[in-house]
């Protein structure tokens, strides 16, 4: 006999489990179906394991700098297996705590793959049948690998497999220069791998302000990471010593050799087996189409997170999960996800929110930018992390902040305040009139804001204007 609930959630990632917990808070009975462990890609194979690795890598980098300064007597010996062990322990702790929290709160968790089989009916391949008036699809995304001859060879891996290696490759090729690729480049270059990044576009870190992306590329090459843009990969072949990528750049054929090749070429919405067509759920560009309330074209069915395309970020999925659950509970809430912070956990970190220069120009907006270098920040110099920048963008007509782009230590912890500033329509004067604590990296935000006024205190002013053509 089918079990009945107020709401069924398909997928237990950051969107799904948040939707389930929010539904419980609002008095709904909730079933959540997950084919693997709760937490989805983020907790199990993405955000959390990579941040555990990056935390250790930052420690290694500090130790090397300390050895260079004579504080430590010699460079640190790195045990890669121990790093991977700690990563696994962190994931287990976070995921097991989440599982206890979700089940302890009262969510019924069903293990298996789910599909919509009729109005308000969800079947699980374990044999269970669930019924509810409302269903939230939070099935997430999966790695997308382009059709490159040889991409199926042993040693060509996705992010899922590379997080399971027990030995750092001597030579690593990363296909894809986006956020995921650059984070893994930071990790493996720091543990001794010779890293080569191959990117099809003419720049790395698409979506990051181009000026900051260029600055980061300079830092990347200074760390010994080879990065080539504008490449077209022809094939991957096996050699006597490993793998070889044959590619073309500027009409010239080139090759790169590796022991391991990571395909960091993006992700695509996961809809396999969900019964999308049978449920008459409309899709657009390979993703589920939704309205501002996250409703699909099927009555009572919502979709959230990566499966609807757009910004595939865990915090966006969680935000969507809250909104969908509230709408299921009878509240009328629309998503407002135009101002979304994005973080790149490289070394140094990059954090962005709002419009880039390119986006502001494309929108025909008159704007000004102000940039403050962390080399003028006492805290950054004290940390030995002075290679960074804070760049703010304001609308020339209203004076309101419309974009913020940061590179430096801990900037991922600073960008939320700037997201609030943009969403609230704050101006440079509002930021400059707010006392910032000293000594902190966040002081640099105020210095950049002062650049729109009479100029920063601790460096020469550097602002520029752009008028629509």
In this predicted model, what pLDDT tens digit does every residue of 278-313 receive, in sequence order?
899 999 999 999 999 999 999 999 999 999 999 999
Phi, psi (5° rounding) for residue 401?
A: -70, 130
Please say if the pLDDT value at position 161 is more than 80: yes
Active-site residue, selected from the candidate residues 320, 361, 436, 438: 438
pLDDT at 461: 60
List the one residue out of 231, 170, 166 whose CA is nearest residue 203: 231
Render pLDDT for 181-195 as a digit per residue (tens, 0 to 9): 999 999 999 999 999
Location of structure tokens 């759920």:
281
- Res. 158 pLDDT band, cuts 50 70 90: very high
The b-or-e profile of 327-365 (16+ CB within 10 A means b, else e) is bbbeeeeebeeebbbbbbbbbbbbbbbbbbbeebbeeeb
Please say if the pLDDT value at position 336 is more than 80: yes
pLDDT at 285: 94
pLDDT at 464: 72
pLDDT at 438: 97
Can you give the C-alpha Rg of the chain in angstroms?
24
Render pLDDT for 68-79 as a digit per residue (tens, 0 to 9): 999 999 999 999
CB-CB contact of 349 with 409 (8 Å)? yes
Q: What span, in angstroms and rounded, lies between the C-alpha atoms of 102 and 378?
A: 44
For the chain, the average pLDDT equals 95
Please say if the pLDDT value at position 126 is more than 90: no
Please say if the pLDDT value at position 469 is more than 60: no
Query: Can 438 be counted among the known catalytic residues?
Result: yes
Sign of CA dihedral 86, 90, 93, 95: negative
Q: What is the 3-state secondary structure (H, E, C) of 197-226?
A: EEECCCCCCCCCCHHHHHHHHHHHHHCCCE
Is-above-0.85 flag for pTM?
A: yes
In residues, how long is the chain?
469
Of all residues in the chain, the percent with pLDDT exceeding 90 is: 94
Please say if the pLDDT value at position 384 is more than 80: yes
Please say if the pLDDT value at position 273 is more than 70: yes
pLDDT at 209: 94
Mean pLDDT of the region 218-244: 95
Please say if the pLDDT value at position 352 is more than 90: yes
* First-last CA distance in the chain: 66
């Amino acid at each position: 006999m089918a079990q009945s609930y107020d709401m069924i959630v398909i997928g237990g990632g950051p969107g799904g489990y948040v939707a389930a917990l929010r539904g419980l808070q609002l008095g709904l009975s909730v079933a959540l179906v997950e084919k693997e462990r709760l937490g989805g890609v983020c907790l199990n194979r993405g955000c959390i394991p990579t941040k555990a690795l990056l935390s250790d890598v930052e420690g290694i980098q500090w130790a090397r700098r300390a050895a260079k300064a004579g504080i430590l007597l010699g460079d640190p010996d790195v045990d890669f297996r121990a790093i991977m062990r700690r990563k696994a322990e962190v994931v287990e702790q976070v995921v097991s705590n989440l599982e206890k929290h979700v089940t302890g709160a009262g969510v019924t968790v069903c293990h298996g793959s789910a599909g919509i089989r009729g109005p308000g009916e969800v079947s699980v391949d374990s044999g269970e049948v669930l019924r509810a008036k409302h269903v939230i699809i939070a099935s997430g995304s999966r790695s997308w690998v382009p059709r490159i001859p040889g991409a199926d060879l042993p040693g060509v891996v996705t992010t899922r497999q590379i997080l399971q290696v027990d030995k750092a490759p001597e030579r690593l090729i990363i296909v894809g220069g986006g956020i995921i690729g650059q984070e893994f480049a930071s990790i493996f270059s720091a543990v001794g791998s010779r890293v080569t990044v191959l990117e099809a576009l003419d720049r790395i870190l698409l979506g990051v302000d181009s000026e900051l992306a260029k600055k980061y590329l300079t830092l990347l090459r200074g760390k010994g990471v080879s990065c080539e843009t504008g490449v077209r990969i022809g094939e991957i072949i096996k050699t006597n010593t490993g793998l070889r990528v044959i590619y073309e750049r500027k009409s010239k054929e080139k090759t790169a050799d590796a022991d391991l090749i990571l395909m960091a070429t993006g992700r695509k919405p996961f809809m396999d087996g969900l019964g999308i067509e049978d449920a008459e759920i409309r899709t657009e560009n390979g993703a589920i189409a939704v309205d501002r309330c996250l409703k699909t074209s099927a009555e009572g069915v919502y979709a959230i997170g990566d499966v609807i395309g757009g910004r595939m970020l865990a915090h966006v999925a969680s935000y969507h999960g809250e909104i969908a659950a509230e709408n299921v509970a009878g509240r009328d809430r629309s998503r407002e996800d135009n101002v979304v912070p994005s973080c790149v956990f490289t070394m140094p970190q990059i954090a962005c929110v709002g419009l880039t220069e390119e986006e502001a120009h494309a929108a025909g907006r008159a704007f000004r930018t102000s940039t403050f270098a962390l080399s003028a920040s006492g805290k950054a110099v004290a940390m030995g992390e002075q290679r960074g920048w804070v760049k703010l963008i304001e609308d020339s007509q209203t004076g309101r902040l419309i974009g913020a782009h940061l590179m430096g230590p801990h900037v991922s912890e600073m960008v939320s305040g700037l997201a609030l500033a943009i969403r609230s329509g704050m101006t440079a004067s509002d930021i400059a009139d707010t006392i910032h604590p000293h000594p902190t990296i966040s002081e640099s935000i105020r210095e950049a804001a002062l650049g729109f006024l009479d100029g920063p205190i601790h460096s020469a002013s550097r602002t520029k204007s752009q008028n629509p053509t």
